[in-house]
Structure 1
Amino acid sequence: MTGAREIELATWSRAGQFNLFRTYDRPHFAATARVDVTALMTRGKPAGVSPYRAFIYAIGAGIHAVPVLKMRFEGDRVLEYDAISLSATVPRPGDTFGYAYIPYFEDWAQFDTSCKTIIDETAKGTDLGANTGQRSDVAYLSCLPWLDFTALDNALPGPDDCIPRFSWGKFIKNAEGRWSCAVAVQVHHALVDGLQVGQFFEAAQASLDRFGDIA
């Protein structure tokens, strides 16, 4: 696991929300919004950028731009990790998949090289690689390239699962030549509010837009 610092609940501005939503049977909420991937599809992809790895990178950028998305609780302790690994579903031959664990690097080239290696290794493996509680410094990512969905909900093991989920769907081109896709974010309300979900989308969009600068 990466390094982490413990949040002092007595002085934490969100202590009230944390204590309230920890009592809920269904404390998670999900939001779906569209993001623009025109720069990625019209500049990045023709230059050799993998849209799949680029989207994982953009989600990582969004997570690391919003401190509460790096927070996890263990009982009454709240920890903020220095870095979050990205656990993405990787397709395998047939109708199966495996879970990859991809470290986030701010440098795109470094991230892309590492991400490709890990995805290739996961695709060739046979073990599911599911996280059964051994680590919490992760976020769960899944791609649904078959669906242009309008909302999405995830399977959750219980009210104490505080690992956020990020899913993205089919890339769609409109009549004006703009590309977009749906992104769903599911979080634990004890740690995250709508404000922070909005901040995630803003940071992820900014990351996707930077692929327009690739020659």
Structure 2
Amino acid sequence: MKRLIDVASWARRENYLFFRDFPNPYYALTVRMDVTLARERARRAGVRFSQYLCYAALRAVNSVEEMRYRQVDGKVWLFDAIRLNTPVALPDHSFRSVIIPYAPTLAAFAAEAERIRVAALRGEGDAYGADAIKDTFCISINPWYDFTGLAFQSGPCPGEEIPIATVGKICERDGRLSVAVAMRFHHGFVDGYHVGQYLERFQHNLDTL
């Protein structure tokens, strides 16, 4: 479900109209998230760490209203729930993008995610078709290397691309585990305060799910 926003009376009207016509209305940042507890909690829950991490992020996204706004065909919509758009790596090193629905619990999310992952390994889906679906947050798990920053591509429709995040390789320092997370958000919808809310809730979810 989604609700059309009346921009004329919207609290974010000034922010949105200022950034709406920018060739690139997005900003990006890279942070480190502590996954020391998360890796152990995923193991105890019997779920893949990647699914645990994605659910922790997706749950945080859905808790921040500003991260559920999307521009579609020039109009602003607020979605009730945001789903996960994520690539599934295939044995030949290509991938299939899949959409995984949000769920109220980790167990329910992981069960559906695993079913969809197995279907993708059989060849269902394609590489980029899911990117046209707007009620999503794209998270790509990159276990091959760490990074300190990441540049994201811009598509042919400025302002109508979905938020995206890339997660790097697990690194250990001083007995703690962490991953780099690079993110891109539409500045017309999401300010630094909202990113702070998201990161706080993301870390809480990583530690407690």
TM-score (norm 2): 0.92
Query: Which amino acid in structure 2 is aligned with residue 110 of structure 1?
Result: A
In structure 2, what residue type is equivalent to 1:171? I
2:171 aligned partner: 172
Output one character per residue of 1:103-160: Cα deviation in whole Å (capped at 9) or x when no partner: 0112111111111111111122164252377531112110111111111122221323
**Superposition deviation, residue 47 in structure 1:** 5.0
- What is the CA deviation profile of residues 67-107 of structure 1, one whole-angstrom value per residue up to 9, with x for unaligned ones? 11111112442101111110101100112001011001121
Q: After the TM superposition, which of the residue ranges 70-79 and 29-38 deviates more from structure 2?
A: 70-79
Report the Cα distance in structure 2 between the residues aligned to 1:42 and 1:173, rounded to whole angstroms: 14
**Is residue 54 from structure 1 mapped to residue 52 from structure 2 by the alignment?**
yes
Match for residue 186 of structure 1 among 177, 184, 187: 184
SS for the counterpart of 1:181 is strand
- What SS does structure 2 have at the residue aligned with 1:89? strand
The answer to whether the 8 A contact 2:37-2:206 is kept is yes
Q: Give the count of matched residue pairs.
A: 208
* Cα contact 2:72–2:134 (8 A) shared by 1: no
In the alignment, what sits opposite 1:45? 43
Equivalent position of 1:160 in the other structure: 159
CA RMSD of superposed structures (Å): 1.7
Distance 1:138 1:131 in 2: 13
More deviation in 74-83 or 41-50?
41-50
Equivalent in 125, 128, 131 of residue 129 of structure 2? 131
The 1:47/1:62 distance shift into structure 2, 3 A limit, reads closer
Amino acid paired to 2:38: L
Instruction: Kindly report which structure 2 residues correspond to 1:39-118, keeping only aligned pairs within 5 A, or say none.
Output: 39-46=37-44, 48-118=46-116
Compared with structure 1, are the counterparts of its residues 43 and 190 closer, same or farther at alpha carbon in structure 2 (3 Å cutoff)? closer
Structure 2 residues not aligned, in runs of 5+: none
Contact 1:60-1:86 at 8 Å conserved across structures: yes
CA distance in 2, matches of 1:162, 1:107: 27
Paired-residue identity, % = 33
Q: Which residue of 1 is the match for residue 19 of structure 2? A: 21
